């Protein structure tokens, strides 16, 4: 569904450009009518791009893995995933659906807050902006200053990016114990058959593809694949399928 929506948006944009080029070279075309046509077509393109964005977001969230919390907040007595951990686990998922994320700061009143902004851009052209205001991380539990200004701001920016990433893509997180428990569970027979079907039906069962896939997933066979790596395997196979289609 996401691919179809993207293709429709791209086709609409191409048709829009072609239409404007034809009309612009026609001396009999009324300028005001041409402007109205351009405005209407631009609105249609914007709507199609937004639909493609939404469809891709659904797919990205479906494939998001659980990210293990690797940091500990002394003040809240809770674990949370670092930005590095989030990026490592989720970037292959959201870029596969055509997304990119750009972070930056904006000015905000007061010296005790840092505003972190993110532009979530989709390859078809639609972009949304999100922001979060994070308190400057310069105090310990008892309120005493425990960081330099530079260190405090850097810590707040890092936390802000992590917080935004989780919100944008609705990323599930868990602590180390949850991760170890999930890691001990293997994929079901149905999931294994689904992965094998993707490989066989798309002609990827020749050569060394399976061996290279198993090496990438760090397993000797698919029936030994941990459940938490199921989405990772699907993404890898889909990437190989798309690459093969481009070559054909």
Rounded Cα distance between 124 and 100, Å, is 11
What pLDDT, on a 0 to 100 scale, did the predictor assign at position 164? 92
Average pLDDT over residues 168-176: 79
- Above 60 in pLDDT, residue 99? yes
Annotate 193-230 with b (16+ C-beta within 10 A) or e (fewer).
Answer: ebbeebbeeeebeeeeeeeebbeebebeebeebbebbb
Predicted pLDDT at 142:
44
Higher pLDDT, residue 13 or 195 = 195
Backbone φ and ψ for 247, nearest 5 degrees, come out as -70, -35
Q: Which residues of 103-129 are buried (b: 16+ CB within 10 A; e: fewer)?
A: eeeeeeeeeeebebebebbbbbbbeee
pLDDT given for residue 121 in this prediction: 97
The H-assigned helical ranges of the chain are: 2-24, 31-62, 83-96, 149-169, 176-183, 189-201, 209-217, 230-247
User: Is pLDDT at 101 greater than 90 in this prediction?
Assistant: yes
The two tokens of residue 210 are 């399976």
pLDDT at 54: 94
Of 1, 241, 7, nearest in space to 123 by CA: 7
Residues recorded for the chain: 248
Average pLDDT of the chain is: 78
Instruction: Tell me what pLDDT residue 184 has.
Output: 43
The answer to which of 19-33, 136-150, 160-174 has the lowest mean pLDDT is 136-150
Residue 209 has a pLDDT of: 86
Contact 99, 60 (CB under 8 A): yes
pLDDT at 32 over 90: no
Q: What is the pLDDT of residues 214-248, one digit of tens each?
A: 888 887 788 778 778 888 899 999 988 888 887 76
């Amino acid at each position: 569904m996401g691919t179809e929506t993207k293709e429709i948006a791209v086709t609409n944009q191409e048709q829009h450009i072609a239409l404007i080029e034809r009309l612009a070279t026609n001396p009999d075309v009324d300028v005001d009518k041409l402007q109205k046509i351009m405005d209407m077509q631009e609105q249609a393109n914007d709507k199609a791009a937004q639909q493609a964005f939404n469809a891709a977001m659904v797919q990205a969230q479906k494939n998001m893995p659980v990210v293990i919390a690797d940091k500990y907040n002394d003040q809240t007595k809770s674990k949370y995933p670092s930005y590095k951990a989030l990026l490592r686990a989720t970037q292959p998922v959201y870029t596969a659906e055509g997304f990119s994320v750009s972070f930056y700061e904006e000015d905000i009143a007061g010296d005790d807050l840092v505003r972190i902004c993110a532009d979530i851009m989709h390859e078809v052209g639609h972009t949304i902006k999100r922001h979060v205001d994070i308190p400057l991380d310069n105090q310990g539990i008892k309120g005493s200053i425990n960081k330099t200004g530079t260190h405090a701001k850097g810590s707040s920016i890092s936390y802000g990016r992590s917080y935004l990433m989780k919100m944008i893509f609705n990323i599930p997180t868990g602590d180390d114990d949850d991760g170890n428990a999930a890691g001990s569970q293997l994929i079901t027979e149905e999931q294994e058959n689904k992965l094998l079907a993707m490989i066989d039906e798309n002609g990827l069962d020749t050569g060394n593809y399976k061996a290279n896939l198993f090496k990438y997933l760090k397993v000797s066979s698919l029936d030994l694949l941990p459940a938490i790596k199921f989405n990772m395997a699907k993404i890898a196979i889909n990437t190989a399928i798309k690459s093969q289609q481009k070559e054909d």
